[in-house]
Structure 1
Amino acid sequence: MSARHVVARLRAAGCVWAEEEAVLLEEAATSDGELEALLARRVAGEPLETVLGWAGFLGRRLVVAAGVFVPRRRTELLARTTLDHLARSDRRVAGSRPVVVEMCCGVAPVAACLEDSGAQVHAADVSPAALDCARANAPSAALHLGDLYDALPPGLRGRVDVLAANAPYVPTDRVADMPPEAREHEPLVALDGGADGVDLHRRLARDAVGWLAPGGVLLVETSPAQAPLTTAAMAGAGLDPHVVADPDVGGCVAVGVRPATVSR
């Protein structure tokens, strides 16, 4: 099958980066028959990442599969912010192992970036399929299946130095406006953030103080429009909030710091 034919079919299907996608599909296929099968899946609207079986993230290739949330480039800001706070954590400065949790981890893009960090890394999600991918991407992390903090071992209470989460933040009535690749191929639970998009952000903030170590931080990916709601939830829970943004990747992270002493 010629490269020109592959590009033409991708263009006809509406793929904006047809030339680049054609190269990746051709690299992934070991025969014309396999290339035809991969191309047919992509032309039918399946995300390129699940067709290939991987998604690029901070220079890594993360394992993804059908039916899981595919990491976006904007989440790289969440990973970089996690690494930054990890480097400055009191436990790291004292020469002991910091504790990091990636909540709503999906395929664990943040945890994957911590493989060589020396931290004690945990990752949690409600999706067994996502955790199967996470196991390949972050083999050193302890993985937990369950709903938010219910998934975590009780022994982590009061010990978490960095808790990072890319919880869903699309308002319910906006899910239908998302690209078909997302709304038709990714689980709704990974997209729908409730009426204003921050239902899970409020739940994360509400119980964070009990799980964070003094000086620990809650990092939540959000949008510029929703950041005030996310930081308000953090402030209401006793955290000191601020926002980190990166216009280059369209990322926005709400940061909530647990003070050394908390008045509730």
Structure 2
Amino acid sequence: MTGDDLVPRLRAAGVVFAEEEARLLAAAASGAALDALVDRRAAGEPLEPLLGWAAFDGLRVPVDPGVFVPRRRTELLAREAAALATPGALVLDLCCGTGAVGLAIATRVPGVQVHAADVEPAAVANARRTLAPVGGTVRQGDLFDPLPERLRGRFAVIAVNAPYVPTDRIADMPREARDFEPAVALDGGPDGLDLHRRIAAEAPAWLAPGGALLIETGRTQAAWTALLLEQAGLVAGIESDDEVDGTVAIGLAR
């Protein structure tokens, strides 16, 4: 069975990029295994866990079932973080999910020391596989809680993709997100900024002098996220990229 044979089945299920997905699925399996993958995709499961990987910043990032899938918009966060990192610098990928951001930074800036943290056990296991090739260290816990005290005040870059979808908007998300990704990776509270408030308040103590905190945020929320950074004593700015539909608030330590 070829990718072309799968296209009508995927189209009938409402898959927008049926041709591309059919090609990827056909490359991943054959025979009965391929039929099973197509059935699962047609039933609404996200593509990336079925393939076992996601394309991100020119890389193939491992993606396990039940873990938040890295979005293309987050490539802006990785690029901006890498631009502020130097070889040997300590970098933190916070709310790391698969570890895609940490891997992208380490690939763009060889020699950085990558640390990562996430509250979800499945994400931590996934990120450990992702970051093992670049020597990354991944810890499980709530935000900064699992980090050892010896790292306080030493991070040159903290890159964050915390959940920022307002609670009442999760129902509007695509089914593959709301039904197959953990709610803790999506729900940002009533206005989407609950985690941004906590991170902005806690992060400065973990930054090295002149260090940078970067938080992915929504276009309509960006000004508020930047204000939180300013209130935490950081010099704040906003970067956007229309091509990937990404927005990042950046706070620099004085």
Which TM-score bucket, shorter chain as reference?
over 0.9
- Which residue of structure 2 lines up, in the alignment, with residue 125 of structure 1? 118
Higher Cα Rg, which structure: 1
Q: One-letter code of the match for 2:220?
A: A
CA RMSD of aligned residues (A): 1.1
Q: One-letter code of the match for 2:129?
A: A
Deviation of 1:114 after TM superposition, in Å, equals 3.3
How many residues align? The count is: 250
Pairing partner for 1:104 from 87, 95, 101: 95
Structure 1 segments, 4+ long, off by >6 Å, are: none
Contact 2:13 2:42 in 1 (8 A): yes
Deviation of 1:2 after TM superposition, in Å, equals 4.8
- 1:2 to 1:257, Cα distance in 2 relative to 1, 3 A: closer
Structure 1 Cα separation of the partners of residues 2 and 238 of structure 2: 48
Alignment of 1:36 onto 2:35:
yes
- Which residue of structure 2 lines up, in the alignment, with residue 183 of structure 1? 178
Structure 1 Cα separation of the partners of residues 250 and 2 of structure 2: 49
Structure 1 Cα separation of the partners of residues 245 and 206 of structure 2: 29
Q: One-letter code of the match for 1:248?
A: E
Deviation of 1:208 after TM superposition, in Å, equals 1.4
Q: Deviations over 1:174-222 (max 9, x none)?
A: 0000010100000000000011101101111001111101110100000
Structure 2 Cα separation of the partners of residues 230 and 2 of structure 1: 47
Matches within 5 A, 1:151-230: 151-230=146-225
Q: Percent identity?
A: 55
Q: One-letter code of the match for 2:102?
A: A
Q: Is 131-140 or 173-182 further displaced after alignment?
A: 131-140
Contact 2:2 2:26 in 1 (8 A): no
Structure 2 Cα separation of the partners of residues 161 and 175 of structure 1: 33
Secondary structure, counterpart of 1:150 in structure 2: coil
- Which residue of structure 2 lines up, in the alignment, with residue 262 of structure 1? none
Structure 2 Cα separation of the partners of residues 3 and 111 of structure 1: 33
Q: Deviations over 1:91-138 (max 9, x none)?
A: x5xxxx211000000001111123352111100001111111111211
TM superposition score normalised by structure 1: 0.92
Task: Note the residue ranges of structure 1 that are not aligned, 5 or more in a row.
Answer: 260-264
Contact 2:139 2:147 in 1 (8 A): yes
Q: One-letter code of the match for 2:128?
A: R
Matches within 5 A, 1:1-264: 1-29=1-29, 31-87=30-86, 97-116=88-107, 117-139=110-132, 140-259=135-254
